[in-house]
Amino acid sequence: MEITDKVKFMSNDETDIIIRLKNLSKNFGEFTAVNNLSLDIKRGEIIGLLGPNGAGKTTTMKMISRLLIPTVGEVWIRDNGELKLLTRKNKDSLLDHLGFLIENPTFYDHMTPRQILSYFAKLKGYPKKKIRSRVEEVINMVELEGWIDKKVGTFSKGMRQKLGIVSSLVHNPDILVLDEPQTGLDPKARKEIRELLLKLKHEGKTIFLSSHLLYEVSEISDRIAIINLGKLIAFDTIRNLETESPDSLLRIQLLVLPTDIAKMRDELESIIKPHTGMKNVSDIVSYNFDTQVFEARFDGSLENQSRIFKELAQNKIDVVDFSVPRTSSLEELYIRLLSGMITIRNPGAEKQAKESAGIMEG
Ligand SMILES: Nc1ncnc2c1ncn2[C@@H]1O[C@H](COP(=O)(O)OP(=O)(O)OP(=O)(O)O)[C@@H](O)[C@H]1O
Ligand SMILES: [Mg+2]
């Protein structure tokens, strides 16, 4: 299939597409940092761009912002109901729809958040009379209201990062492109940013964010794009990626810890094994001594999950907790994809296109 066909295939409804990256490549001399990347971002969704250090995430975002010009390929952005090719001529008007946070934001130490945000809002043409209240509104979003008139020079890294995030959205753009918005933040601040991004999504914003933290991205993204060595290697919903994953993990916590762990393991193995949806796999069940739970591998399907649960109940196994950690299968898939152990054909083509293609083990 030609790449151009693939792009056409990607969306069932073209009018939902708000950003289209088409065969995007960036070379630095002989080195290809981004390699023929195509993906469509739809209105109102959060897309997580995931990949290890050096994968090409920042380079991709810089090409959207036109901080870098693609060596090959195109960026399309919706404007007045129409997808338009981003060019040198129209970049100022098209990019007004977007807010960017790319790499670590740097601010003048002697300036205050109020000054900085007012400056950005003005620069982006935000209505003059509304700037003051808008600046206060976005500062409240990240709970920095007590710092609005303090000099940035005294700010912690996390506070600067929060200021960076709101500086990208002070002009109230429809689309946010955020490069590692949670990097350098402590767990509490990371959670605050996660909640802020979800809130923005509910207000109708479209968000394209990068990270190398699988958990951070999978918690909030509607779809995940995984890139490695500049190439898109997967692009789908978390649910679909999980079912692509060779196996999922089921955690089973028993009411009473058995005196004979090995015997219990064997018993669970015989009960669960016929319902895992996996062929020719031995040692389905193992015991995790750290967490004191039994763990069973299965194909991740909801049907098998409920079958296993039913079988355990019928065999009078007293289960107090039964969980499928969301990220475990994704993590497994991520690692296998990055190591090249498995590949997904046609990453980016959606379910209907992928059903026939499936996943190749190799
Ligand atoms: N201006 C440049 N000149 C030469 N090489 C570059 C340049 N910018 C990026 N690269 C290279 O391109 C590759 C991709 O870099 P990029 O910054 O896009 O990765 P990333 O996915 O954002 O990584 P990280 O998670 O570390 O931020 C890297 O190997 C990097 O060294
Ligand atoms: Mg980067």
Indicate the residue type of 57: K
The confidence band for 11, taking pLDDT boundaries of 50, 70 and 90, is: very low
Q: Are residues 264 and 179 in the same domain?
A: no
3-class DSSP assignment, residue 208: strand
Ligand 1 atom 1: residue of nearest CA: 28
- CATH number for 99: 3.40.50.300
Average pLDDT score over residue span 305-315: 93
Question: Ligand 1 centre and the CA of 69: distance in Å?
Answer: 14
Question: Ligand 1 centre and the CA of 104: distance in Å?
Answer: 14
Closest among 182, 212, 179 to 55, alpha carbons compared: 212
Q: 241-259 pLDDT, tens per residue?
A: 876 666 778 889 998 888 9
Q: Are residues 174 and 273 in the same domain?
A: no
- CATH number for 285: 3.30.70.100
Instruction: Classify residue 344: in a domain, yes or no.
Output: no
**Per-residue b/e over 177-192, b at no fewer than 16 CB within 10 Å?**
bbbbbbbebeeebbeb
Ligand 1 atom 31: residue of nearest CA: 54
Question: Ligand 1 centre and the CA of 56: distance in Å?
Answer: 6
**Which bound ligand lies closest to the C-alpha atom of 71?**
1
Query: 213 and 182 in contact (C-beta within 8 Å)?
Result: yes
Q: 94-134 pLDDT, tens per residue?
A: 999 999 999 777 889 999 999 999 999 999 889 999 999 99
Pocket-forming residues, ligand 1, beta carbon under 6 Å: 28, 31, 33, 51, 53-59, 212
Average pLDDT score over residue span 151-167: 92
Question: Ligand 2 centre and the CA of 318: distance in Å?
Answer: 48
Q: 16-75 pLDDT, tens per residue?
A: 999 999 999 999 999 999 999 999 999 999 999 999 999 999 999 999 999 999 999 999
Ligand 1 atom 30: residue of nearest CA: 54
Question: Ligand 2 centre and the CA of 161: distance in Å?
Answer: 15
Write down which residue in 200, 227, 242 finishes a domain: 242
Range of the domain at 281: 244-326
pLDDT for residue 167 is more than 80: yes
pLDDT of residue 360: 41
Mutate to test the pocket of ligand 1, among 28, 30, 227 (most ligand atoms within 8 A of CB): 28
CA–CA distance, 163 with 103 (Å, rounded to integer): 13
**What's the structural domain count of the chain?**
2
pLDDT of residue 189: 87
